[in-house]
Amino acid sequence: ISCICNPEVFVIGGGVSKAGDILIDKTKQYYIENAFHATVDTKFKVATLGNDAGIFGGAKLSLEI
C-alpha cells in the first residue's frame, strides 16, 4: 500500500498511540526491513489528539449539519 500511495508520514493515533516511542521505533524498524526501498524514508509520528480525535471529529460534523 505504501508503494502505491507513497505517503509522506504514517500517523498513529487513538489509544495505541500512548505507547509512544516504543511503538514508533518497532514499527519503523519492521517497516524499513520489509518495505519497498523507494518508500523507506516515510516518517512515523504519533497523533497529537490521541483519544480526543473522535470527539473533535464529531463536534466538527455537528457544526456542519
> Quick one: how far is CA 55 from the chain centroid?
18
How do residues 12-64 score in pLDDT, each as one tens digit? 887 888 888 888 999 999 998 988 888 888 999 988 887 788 888 899 999 98
Q: What pTM does this model have?
A: 0.69
Q: What's the total number of domains in the chain? A: 1
Residue with cell string 524514508: 41
Of 7, 34, 11, residue with least CA distance to 23: 11
Exposure letters 10-49 (e unless 16+ CB within 10 A, then b): eeebeeebeeeeeebeeebeeeeeeeeeebeebeeebeee
Q: Which residues pair with 44 in a beta bridge?
A: 10
Domain around 48: 2-64
